[in-house]
Structure 1
Amino acid sequence: MEVEVAPNAAPLQGDKECDVVIIGAGIAGISTAYEIATEGARVLVIDRGKIAGGITARTTAHLAPLCDDLTSAMIGLRGEEISRLFYESQAAAIDRIEEIQNKEAIDCDFRRLDGYLFQALNTDSKIIEDELDAVRKVGAPVHRLVGVPFSHCEQQHVLRYPRQGTFHPLRYLKGLAAAVEAKAGTFHADTVVESIEERDDGKVVVSTAGGKVVARAAVVATNSPIVDRFALHTKMAPYRSYAMAFSIGKGAIPDALYWDTLDPYHYVRLQPGEGQTDHLIVGGGDHKSGEADDAEVRFQALEAWTRNLIPAVQEVTHRWSGQILDTIDYAGFIGKNPGSENIYVHTGDSGQGITHGVVGAMINSALIQGRGSNWAEVYAPSRKTPAAIVNFVKENITAVKNFAEYLAPGELSAVSDLKAGHGAIIRHGLSKIAAYRDSAGKLYARSAACTHIGCHLHWNSFETCWDCPCHGSHFAFDGTPLNAPAVSPLAAHEIEDKP
């Protein structure tokens, strides 16, 4: 059954005033609204689509407090103290989820679990040894074992992390949003933000097609920020990850979190089902957004990996993909937007969107209310990480390569070659056209330049949308923006559609 969060949220109509306006209604936005409303402030939440209908709805909900890119890697870039604070903050996020779902009586399948990092087949165990040493340095509980309950993995080296967690994220957010509304908070869905400005009096004005919101502070929690064009975007990169669910008999494997040491790695958990059947959720197959259009191949590989290691799985019940924003030093950007006085951001969740979202809510709500946070330095948007220069250069090469694509020929020589249900880039004179033909044969021709900073778009056949490899914008086949940082639609383009 589909879970609707704040189902009565209507588009914004008319001008409003509040204490804090939050743009983006995923885990970060709704959690921030809850923290602020709990302190008695008037809060208003805006989203361009459904409430909790974006990237948060695509999570696999591993509540794991250690660095997604390995603690050893984080220590190498940011040192032991910052890495310790990162672990502490992420663990506190799981504690906060547990506390809130108890306090608000939210039925969301929350439970504490062991997490298992296991040596991938045919790989060196040294990564386990290095990670064991790193995790002990940051003070996290860890136990070294041999074997996990998967086929062919009986002798693999393993680290067990106690007191991890998981839950059903949309059921949790449904209850959280209801608690915000009970505290006089309001939600507005299907409301596209056109601009965010700070006035001389310190107030923030958020303009939409339906009206303006004036607040003493704003939080931009739109997965990829719409308030900044370069400063933060150059320090993170979008990656697409794939997930699928299988039916599996109850008790077939122990209820826990599992992930391996490959790069990109696989991740596995259970979701309770009805009767004698659960769902096994498996993810992996990551690649940079827009740099591959081979979802079917990745799903086939993911299914083969799963059936090889967990032969008890039955039929595939769901398949989906989501976008991750990886920062160059593994922690998100949370806090005051560089150059702003009363605009705060939350972005760069680096594969840990749920715990990052709750950490961000605790940090930003504290800063807005004039309090400090022990974790603010870890996530400060203005931070510089000299040791991450190699990652910075690697991720920004994408943009350089991307702009060069405008000189290349189109994928098809003529629009007449475009089949129904397909999208492709077509050169038209000096321009590149993002063309899509629907199942009825209607042609949609739009500019192939992302409206954020003009990067060359790529077709995503699985999601039926246009992806921007530079900073993660997505556009519907008709040019409507679906995901930040782009806020404007793709320009329509006249092109003759000869039969």
Structure 2
Amino acid sequence: MENKINDGAITSGDNVSFWIDSTSILSYKTPDSDIQTEVLIIGGGIAGLTTAYKLLQAGKKVVLVEDGFIGSGESGRTTAHLSNALDDRYYYLESTFGKETAALAAESHTAAINEIENIISQNNIDCSFKRVNGYLFLHPSDKEENLDKEYEASQRAGLDTLLLDKTPTIINDEPLRCLMFKNQAQFHILQYLKGLADAVIALGGTIYTEAHAENISKEGAEVNGFKFTAAHIVVATNSPINDVVTMHTKQHAYRTYVIAGKIKKDTLPYALWWDTGDADSKWVSQPYHYVRLEKFDDEYDLLISGGEDHKTGQSDEENKTESERYDRLEAWTRQYFPLLDEISYRWSGQVMEPVDALGFMGKNPGDENIYIITGDSGNGMTHSTIGALIITDLIKGTKNKWEEIYSPSRLTLKSAGDFIKETGNMAAQYLDWITASDLKNTADLPAGEGGIISIGLRKAAVYRDYDNTLKAFSAVCPHLGCIVNWNADEKSFDCPCHGSRFANDGTVINGPAQSDLAKIQVK
């Protein structure tokens, strides 16, 4: 089991989420021959499985391949909010894209929640699905007027929202005004994926797990050394692994942190809570906090709280360790939810933040038969479902009314300032080639830890296993040559440029890199 966690087959990090801990491993057969099919889907998270399900319903022949087990990527590390209250405010969407696009975005996320509910109903999936209200309240750094602006913009977008003088159940010295988003939802993501996978198989689809796809082209992909050919290829891997540069200038990878602790049943109503984000943050994404409940046992619910984001591989930019971020998150959570019991789970996830706030779902730029679902921001559950609906229509040859607003080929001039800031940050990471390493000698490395060391003009990523074995790899990310950094929390090597991540044995666990870190010998 430990080896499978280390190499990313079960989950993309050392920490195990509540969802993975409470669900059996979802594995299928591994490839053993060449395959020819109508649609090849790469990725066994919510995006890939929903797309497979919808295409099979449309009569298409579908094969899905997953690098690890089902849900082993970011779907298994989410907090599973189902919401049409987006990370970026609707007044921002209006100023960037116009009122019509903001309304289409609201409509699409509402439709995604409905689609998920319909899939659950049609397939009798037991995944704790609940309709709940969502409450957006001000971060201390934000302006009161912005809540009023968001209320007005959400109303113009056609959402069922209401301004309240007090945020229900939030404990604070003074009442916190909030914007209530009605008819949101939540579920147990891994149980949902199990039901989706069962439905895919029942409809005649084929699923392969521990099936690593690479060399993706318009003909198909190489999977575990076998040739998988298809008329259509869908890349549903959180960060696209088919594209070397283009999409990785339009979005940027962030780490987000989650804690979960027990709280007495009936202490809080089931709901979603979010603050509006840190307006003073150095990060373009303006990290925010997000909270929900999930049933745990007959006596307790689980309070799940997330936040404290930073760009992947750049935790040290704010001089805060990963452990300190969990501590800050716990302190914030206890401030507003003081009845929280001890913390039972800690994990982190990876979020792809598009520079203009809308995800990318549709044809990969320059390709006619390769499709991508990415740029999910903090709305991955609904974004992925929207992407599945758009791509199903594209493959069927049916016009989809959301196709243009989520087009991966779009250019948004009004977000040029954020684009310049993010790409400047990315370019600055290449200075790691000439800066000092975090280790002077491998003898300084304790068991269970890793780091970067200079060997002449080379940089090496080293990890000392618990049996005292030293593993060493090139520290150069095989995607575009950045120097990876050690993530002491998830025990991984993370690329600060484009978000590729590698397990402590060098195995690639997050794209866009397709291959492992190269092994080297060190004394």
TM-score bin (small chain): over 0.9
Alpha-carbon offset, residue 157 of structure 1? 1.3
Deviation of the 1:273 alpha carbon: 2.3
Question: 1:252-288 CA distances to partner (integer Å, 9 max, x unpaired)?
Answer: 1221111112322111111022212111111111111
The question of whether the paired residues in 1 share the 8 Å contact of 2:427 and 2:497 is answered with: no
* Partner AA of 2:305 in structure 1: V
Alpha-carbon contact 1:5-1:170 (below 8 Å) kept: no
Equivalent residues of 1:272, 1:279 under 8 A apart: yes
1:236 to 251, 265, 289: 251
SS of residue paired to 1:232: helix
The residue number in structure 1 matching 2:196 is: 176
Give, in angstroms, the shift of residue 153 of structure 1. Answer: 6.0
SS of the equivalent of 1:446 reads strand
SS at match of 1:116: strand
Residue number in structure 2 paired with 1:160: 180
User: What percentage of residue pairs aligned between the two structures are identical?
Assistant: 42
Stretches of structure 2 that go unaligned for 5 or more consecutive residues are: 1-20, 279-286
Question: In structure 2, which of residues 152, 155, 165 is the aligned counterpart of residue 136 of structure 1?
Answer: 155
Residue equivalent to 1:188? 208
Partner residue in 2 for 1:265: 288
Residue 445 (str. 1) matches residue 472 (str. 2): yes
Residue type at the aligned position of 2:227: K
Instruction: Tell me how far apart the structure 1 counterparts of residues 352 and 269 of structure 2 sit (CA, whole Å).
Output: 31
1:150 equivalent among 158, 166, 170: 170
Counterpart residue number, 2:44: 25
- Cα 1:153–1:344 change in 2 (3 A) is farther
Q: Is 1:413 matched with 2:436?
A: no
The answer as to whether partners of 1:50 and 1:189 remain within 8 angstroms in 2 is yes
Partner secondary structure for residue 498 of structure 2: coil
Distance verdict in 2 for CA 1:153–1:365, change over 3 Å: farther
Aligned match of 1:287: 310
Distance 1:5 1:386 in 2: 44
Asked whether 1:49 is paired with 2:94, we answer no
Q: Cα deviations across residues 310-368 of structure 1 (Å, max 9, x unaligned)?
A: 11111111111000000011111111111111111111101110001100000001101
Q: Deviations over 1:278-303 (max 9, x none)?
A: 11111111111100161210111111
Is 1:222 equivalent to 2:237 in the alignment?
A: yes
1:388 to partner: Cα distance: 0.8
Q: Helix, strand or coil for the counterpart of 1:440?
A: coil
Contact 1:121 1:153 in 2 (8 A): no
Residue 365 (structure 1) aligns with: 392
- The match for 2:220 is 205
Aligned with 2:503 (options 476, 488, 491): 476
How far apart, in 1, do the equivalents of 2:353 and 2:220 lie?
29
What does residue 16 of structure 1 align with?
35
TM-score, normalised via structure 2 length: 0.91
Q: For 1:161, what is the secondary structure of its paired residue?
A: strand
- Structure 1 contact 121–156 (Cα < 8 Å) conserved: no
**Partner Cα distance (2:181, 2:434) in 1:** 50
* Superimposed CA distance per residue, residues 116-141 of structure 1 (whole angstroms, 9 cap, x where no aligned partner): 00123475312211211221221211
Q: Describe the shift of the 1:20–1:96 C-alpha distance in structure 2 as closer, same or farther (beyond 3 A).
A: same
Q: Secondary structure at the match of 1:489?
A: coil
Q: What is the rounded CA distance, in whole Å, between the counterparts of 2:22 and 2:86 in structure 1?
A: 31
Contact persistence 1:436–1:445 (CA under 8 A): yes
**Relative to structure 1, is the Cα distance of residues 354 and 83 closer, same or farther in structure 2, using a 3 angstrom cutoff?**
same
Distance 2:257 2:248 in 1: 23
Q: Once the two structures are superposed, what CA deviation does each residue of 1:375-423 show, in whole Å capped at 9, x if it has no partner?
A: 0011101001000111111111122111111011221222222222221
Aligned to 2:268: 253
SS at match of 1:379: coil
**Is there any run of 5+ residues in structure 1 with no aligned partner, and where?**
199-203
Displacement of 1:227: 1.0
Post-superposition CA distance 1:455-476 (Å, at most 9, x none): 1101001110000111111101
**Of residues 405, 423, 436 in structure 1, which corresponds to 2:450?**
423
Query: What SS does the aligned partner of 1:262 have?
Result: coil
* Distance (Å, rounded) in 2 between the aligned partners of 1:413 and 1:257: 46
Alignment of 1:61-76 (within 5 A): 61-76=80-95
| Corresponding residue number in structure 2 for 1:308 | 335
Counterpart contact for 1:71–1:134, Cα < 8 Å: yes
Aligned Cα RMSD in Å? 1.3
Are 2:70 and 2:193, in contact at CA under 8 Å, matched by a contact in 1?
A: no
Q: Which moved more, 1:49-58 or 1:291-300?
A: 291-300
Mapped partners of 2:220, 2:306: distance in 1: 40
Question: What does 1:119-134 align with in structure 2 at a 5 Å threshold?
Answer: 119-121=138-140, 123-134=142-153
Alignment-derived partner of residue 430 in structure 2: 403
**Given the superposition, is the C-alpha separation of residues 437 and 6 from structure 1 closer, same or farther in structure 2, using an over 3 Å criterion?**
closer
Assess if the C-alpha contact under 8 Å between 2:103 and 2:158 holds in 1: yes
SS of the counterpart of 2:509? strand
2:298 aligns with one of 275, 278, 296: 275
Q: Secondary structure at the residue paired with 2:127?
A: coil
Contact 2:40 2:220 in 1 (8 A): no
Measure, in 2, the Cα distance between the counterparts of 1:279 and 1:419.
34
User: How big is the shift at 1:5?
Assistant: 6.2
Instruction: State the secondary structure of the residue aligned to 1:286.
Output: strand
SS state at 1:469 partner: coil
CA distance in 2, matches of 1:122, 1:372: 43
The question of 1:101 aligning with 2:120 is answered: yes
